[in-house]
Each structure stands twice: as C-alpha cells, then as structure tokens.
Amino acid sequence: MTCGCDKNTHAERVLPGTLEMTGRHPCYSYQAHHKYARMHLPVAPRCNIGCNYCNRKFDCVNESRPGVTSEVLTPEAARDKFLLVREKVPNLSVVGIAGPGDALANWGSTKKSIKLIREADPEAIFCLSTNGLMLPDYAGEIVELDVRHVTVTVNCLDSATGARIYRHVNYRGQVLRGTAGVEILLGNQQKGVEYLARSGVLVKVNIVMIKGINDGHIPAVVQRVKELGAFITNIMPLVPAPGSVFQHFAPTNKSELDRMRDLCGQDMRQMRHCKQCRADAIGLLGDDRSLEFSTAGKQRDANCSDCAQSDKVAAVS
C-alpha cells in the first residue's frame, strides 16, 4: 500500500508531542485505525456554504455519510456523552467535531465543548473539520486551544470550478452566489491551512473527487496544499446524497480514485482508509457504535422504513 508517508511536509514546525498523538489518531494514521477509536460530537448544526453534493435534511441510523446525525448536542451534553463513551470504549483516543454543519460556523458551541471536555480529561486529543471559510478568523484560537489536528475540505483552486461545486457562500451575514463567494472561500481556505501549518498544527486536506467537475484539478490542489504545509490529503469518492444537486451523479469509480491517490501519493502522503463518517460516529473507523449511545437513534431505528428519506431532521443553514 502506497501512502506517501515518507514525504516531509514542514515537519520541523510540528509542535512537541503532536506526532505521538498522531500515532493514536485513526484518521491520520493507517496503523492507528485498527487500534484506536474516535467519537464525533454533533455540536455544530449550522453551515455557511452550500455544497452541491451535500444534503443534511435526511437522516437514518442505517445511513453513514458526512452531515448525518441522530441528534444535536449542547456542549454540556457533549461532555457528558464523552464521559459515558470513555467508560464504555477503552480505546477511545480522539474527540472530533465534524458537523453536522461546520465546526467554525458554530464556533461558540465548538469552543465550549472543547473546553468542557478538556477540563474533564486533559489528555483528550481533539480534531476539527471545517470547510475553511472562517479559518482566518479562528485559526489563532484553534492554536491557543491546543487543537493539534484540523481537517479542511479543499475541492478546487479556481472559482469557476468552485461555482459548479458550491451554490452559495454565507460570509459575515452576506449570502454570495457564483464566483464572488467562491473566491472568498478558496482564499480563506489557503490562508487558514498555511497559518495552522506554520503554527505546528497537522492539517489534513479532504478533497471530494467529482468526475467531470474537479477530477482534472486534484493533483494541482494536492501540490498547492503541500506548499502551504498540509500534512496529508484525503481524496474521497463522491457519495451522491439523496436530495442534493448531485444526487444523480455516478459515485466515483474506485479504480479511478485509486489511480488518483497513487498519482498524488508520489508527492504527498495519502489517506486511503477514510470511511466518510457520520457527524456522530463512535468507535473504530470500520465499526461504528453511534447507535449504542444515542436514544434518538434507537427511536429512529424502531420506526425506520426508508433508509434514505424516512426521517427528516431540521436543516439549519
């Protein structure tokens, strides 16, 4: 398996102890994902961009994709759930905030959740996922909170391609459509990745491979984020979500995805074991236990008749 793990990306800037933490982070380390569990805390319901491959209106306990959760937690409830899961899942190592919206579009709840859990367990490893729109605003606070791992989704480098992927960008209360909003998004993503990397944070860049839209640009994206100091990239297949603009797109071909990872792996380490997890995922990457810890999920499971559309959850945009 080629992972490109020998590719050095600004390793001299990594904060002390971060690489040891990374050895216990199942998303950053292939070896770790067989041994260590993670839990995602769904404390961030709002999103500030409209991705054509995403639809957060639908939820089912049998559905596993980003943006899906059986419940949204307050920071206090997130801390309590963390303590419960820590008792039941002894190999728990990472606490992540990955939605169901964007971690930085809900910065108050995200920040408070981190602080409460850190008070309860100073050894917890934290990870954030974001589209990067608000990174220039909050990257400094992320570093101050001692969050060592941040994932940023960067799907393209040019606004024309981005306008085919994003319907709108809600920036500082102004809804921008077309290339105007995308230009702000792409610029802020790159500024944020560079700031975090220069501050010793390990940045993973997610790229959704969409045939006919951005697949021809992915090597350039990988090269650019490498220049900015990213640690690893995760080229993911498109999962057409029911109700999304891209719902009728064909899923990314696995052989084409592998070829793209091989090509980009010549320059930069690649994540190949991503499961594109739910926003409330718990356990090993290949063994989700979120239902075990969700009362709302158990109630849904009893009534579920259509995995794609049986239960609509309120979409907060």
Q: Give yes or no for residue 185 having a pLDDT over 60.
A: yes
**Nearest to residue 73, comparing CAs of 48, 105, 40?**
40
- Range name among 71-85, 91-105, 266-280 with the lowest pLDDT average: 266-280
Look up the pTM and report it.
0.82
Confidence of residue 89 (pLDDT cuts 50, 70, 90): confident
Considering the chain, what percentage of its residues have pLDDT values greater than 90?
Answer: 49
Specify the higher pLDDT residue, 308 or 247.
247
CA atoms within 13 A on the CB side of 238: 26
Q: Is the peptide bond before 100 cis (omega within 30 degrees of 0)?
A: yes
Every domain of the chain and the residues it spans: 11-312
Segment 175-186 shows an average pLDDT of: 96
Percent of the chain with pLDDT over 70: 71
pLDDT at 120 over 90: yes
pLDDT confidence of 281, banded at 50, 70, 90? confident
E strands, 99-252, in order: 125-130, 149-153, 166-171, 174-177, 202-209, 232-237
pLDDT at residue 204 is higher than 60: yes
Mean pLDDT of 92-115: 91
18-39: per-residue pLDDT in tens? 665 555 556 665 455 555 777 8
- Whether the pLDDT of residue 91 is over 90: the answer is no
Give CA–CA dist 17/14, Å, rounded. Answer: 8
Strands (E), 65-188: 92-97, 125-130, 149-153, 166-171, 174-177
What's the start-to-end Cα distance of the chain, in Å? 40
Q: What is the pLDDT of residues 221-278, one digit of tens each?
A: 999 999 999 999 999 999 887 788 888 888 888 999 999 999 999 989 887 655 555 6
Whether 313 shows a pLDDT value over 60: the answer reads: no
Q: What tens digit of pLDDT does each residue of 285-296 get?
A: 555 655 666 765
Residue 241 contacts residue 196 (beta carbons within 8 Å): no
Asked if the 11-312 domain carries CATH number 3.20.20.70, the reply is yes
